[in-house]
């Protein structure tokens, strides 16, 4: 049976939550493979809105197994806060429908403290982190001093991990003018939360391998967007993990041969939260109109998103780095009513036209977009569920995007409601 990876193909906030929910009806397992609770998904199901940060989107669907993979960094306190919020909405989260990889690194309170201290004291331009400790937690993972889920089951191992962690963090904190870590308090908090976390712990790689052999369908859910990838994003204004599709394999313990289809989620225009280059950003009435009509505020941070025209150069680039099989184009209805739309087809820099975004940050900051103008439409596309429901100009816009990004549209989303979706290619088709 086909297994599908869903990744954002821009800077995040492309509408992955709805698409994953739409696909999860046909999946048996939904697995998160990177990021932390800095990610945000908004689902609208039968008029009820669910806001998720850490839990896989499939958790709101009965009969599905949700998985948090080892590529995620897990804040256990944030996890149980989110579980409690869902419980208040009638969604039960138990070890029967949620598994956490035993080798998942933990985000500790000291990670958030370090994150916020760095961002507030930096003498250079800010990265624009959420301040939730995701970056420092990944640093500890790579530095081989992280506390992982399995460590909570053995106090002796936990003590060794804490000792190693204190040596590193207390030196950092001294340099930032922070007090040393209260080791006893941190250990007490971990010992207190351990009985809540450990029932969910499992060898996820083994569970997924057995499920795949049994013919189960697995949906791999990415967080953020490919342009925030620590290697291929607009560095240093990126997240701390790999957000491209390849991470689905290493972030869950399955090999790359387990991936049959990569679905890239793409907004019909472009948005970005936080700092960093944004070639097509608009500072005029059109940008305000996109933000207002698209309700462009971050799910997790509440920050206003920067808005701009569709950037075909960047999407073509991320389709290549993630090996995208087809895209899901979202929020087409936000463009209703524009007389003219613009699509970025290249960048001009020092008299040269680029068909990709240069790697050097100094060049990224100076590129200017080369635009192609296309006809807009005044009919409504909201709620369309077939090509016949779309204005001719809207269809032309979608087809032109396909040509420019060199990747077909597999799904077209025309509202936050999951059923307002036009299926072109079934990602789960064998």
Confidence of residue 46 (pLDDT cuts 50, 70, 90): confident
Mean per-residue pLDDT of the chain:
93
Spatial contact of 246 and 34, defined as CB atoms under 8 Å apart: no
Q: Which residue has the higher pLDDT, 327 or 17?
A: 327
Least confident piece of the model among 100-104, 131-135, 223-227: 131-135
Q: Which of 48-52, 69-73, 171-175 tops mean pLDDT?
A: 69-73
The pLDDT score that the predictor gives to residue 135 is 92
Residues 211-238 as b/e (b if ≥16 CB within 10 A, e otherwise) read bbeeebbbbbbbbbbbbbbbebbbeebb
Task: Please check the confidence at residue 302 and state whether its pLDDT lies above 70.
Answer: no
The pLDDT score that the predictor gives to residue 242 is 95
Catalytic residue among 21, 37, 41, 333: 41
Least confident piece of the model among 21-25, 206-210, 282-286: 21-25
Task: Please check the confidence at residue 201 and state whether its pLDDT lies above 70.
Answer: yes
The pLDDT score that the predictor gives to residue 121 is 72
Percent of the chain with pLDDT over 90: 80
pTM attached to this predicted model: 0.92
Q: Which residue has the higher pLDDT, 129 or 35?
A: 35
Percent of the chain with pLDDT over 70: 97
Confidence of residue 39 (pLDDT cuts 50, 70, 90): confident
pLDDT digits (tens, 9 = 90+) for 207-256: 999 999 999 999 999 988 999 999 999 999 999 999 999 999 999 999 99
Which residues lie across from 270 on neighbouring strands?
A: 308
Task: Please check the confidence at residue 24 and state whether its pLDDT lies above 90.
Answer: no
Q: Which residue has the higher pLDDT, 123 or 49?
A: 49
Pairing status of strand 352-354 against strand 340-349: antiparallel
Q: In whole angstroms, what is the distance from residue 176 CA to residue 117 CA?
A: 7
Least confident piece of the model among 2-16, 35-49, 141-155, 414-428: 35-49
The pLDDT score that the predictor gives to residue 123 is 55
* Dihedral (CA of 200, 191, 106, 58) sign: positive
Confidence of residue 86 (pLDDT cuts 50, 70, 90): very high
pLDDT digits (tens, 9 = 90+) for 413-423: 988 777 889 99
Annotation says 41 is catalytic:
yes
Q: In whole angstroms, what is the distance from residue 146 CA to residue 16 CA?
A: 29
The pLDDT score that the predictor gives to residue 44 is 74
Q: Distances from the Cα of 235 to the Cαs of 127, 232, 238, 300, in angstroms?
A: 9, 8, 5, 22
Task: Please check the confidence at residue 174 and state whether its pLDDT lies above 60.
Answer: yes
Spatial contact of 342 and 375, defined as CB atoms under 8 Å apart: no
**Residue 423 tokens, joined:** 């299926």
**Interval 326-341 mean pLDDT:** 96
**Residue 348 tokens, joined:** 């001009």
Annotation says 75 is catalytic:
no
Task: Please check the confidence at residue 124 and state whether its pLDDT lies above 70.
Answer: no
Spatial contact of 144 and 165, defined as CB atoms under 8 Å apart: no
């Amino acid at each position: 049976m086909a297994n599908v990876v869903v990744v954002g193909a821009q800077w995040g906030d492309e509408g992955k939550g709805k698409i994953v929910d739409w696909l999860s009806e046909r999946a048996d397992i939904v697995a998160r493979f990177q990021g932390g609770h800095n990610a945000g998904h908004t689902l609208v199901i039968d008029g009820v809105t669910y806001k998720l940060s850490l839990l896989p989107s499939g958790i709101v669907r009965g009969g599905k197994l949700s998985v948090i993979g080892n590529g995620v960094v897990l804040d256990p306190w944030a996890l149980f806060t989110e579980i409690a919020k869902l419980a208040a909405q009638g969604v039960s989260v138990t070890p029967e429908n949620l598994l956490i990889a035993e080798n998942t690194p933990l985000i500790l309170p000291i990670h958030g403290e370090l994150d916020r201290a760095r961002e507030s004291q930096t003498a250079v331009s800010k990265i624009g982190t959420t301040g939730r400790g995701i970056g420092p937690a990944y640093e500890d993972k790579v530095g081989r001093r992280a506390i992982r889920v399995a460590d909570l089951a053995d106090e002796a191992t936990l003590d060794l991990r804490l000792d190693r962690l204190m040596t590193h963090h207390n030196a950092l904190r001294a340099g930032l003018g922070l007090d040393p870590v209260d080791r006893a308090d941190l250990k007490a908090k971990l010992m207190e939360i351990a009985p809540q976390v450990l029932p969910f712990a499992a060898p996820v790689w083994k569970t997924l391998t057995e499920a795949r052999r049994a013919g189960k369908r697995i949906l791999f859910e990415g967080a953020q967007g490919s342009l925030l990838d620590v290697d291929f994003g607009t560095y240093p204004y990126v997240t701390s993990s790999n957000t491209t599709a390849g991470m689905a394999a290493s972030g869950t313990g399955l090999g790359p041969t387990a991936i049959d289809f990569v679905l890239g989620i793409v907004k019909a225009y472009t948005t970005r939260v936080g700092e960093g280059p944004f070639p097509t950003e608009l500072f005029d009435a059109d940008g305000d109109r996109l933000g207002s009509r698209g309700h462009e505020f971050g799910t997790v941070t509440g920050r206003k998103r920067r808005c701009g025209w569709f950037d075909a150069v960047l999407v073509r680039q991320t389709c290549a780095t993630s090996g995208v099989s087809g895209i899901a184009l979202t929020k087409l209805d936000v463009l209703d009513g524009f007389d003219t739309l613009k699509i970025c087809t290249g960048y001009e820099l020092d008299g040269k036209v680029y068909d990709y975004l240069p790697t050097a940050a100094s060049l990224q900051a100076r590129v200017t977009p080369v635009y192609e103008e296309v006809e807009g439409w005044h009919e409504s596309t909201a709620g369309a569920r077939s090509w016949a429901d779309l204005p001719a100009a809207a269809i032309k816009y979608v087809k032109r995007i396909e040509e420019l990004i060199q990747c077909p549209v597999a799904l077209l989303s025309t509202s936050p409601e999951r059923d307002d979706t036009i299926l072109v290619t079934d990602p789960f088709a064998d």
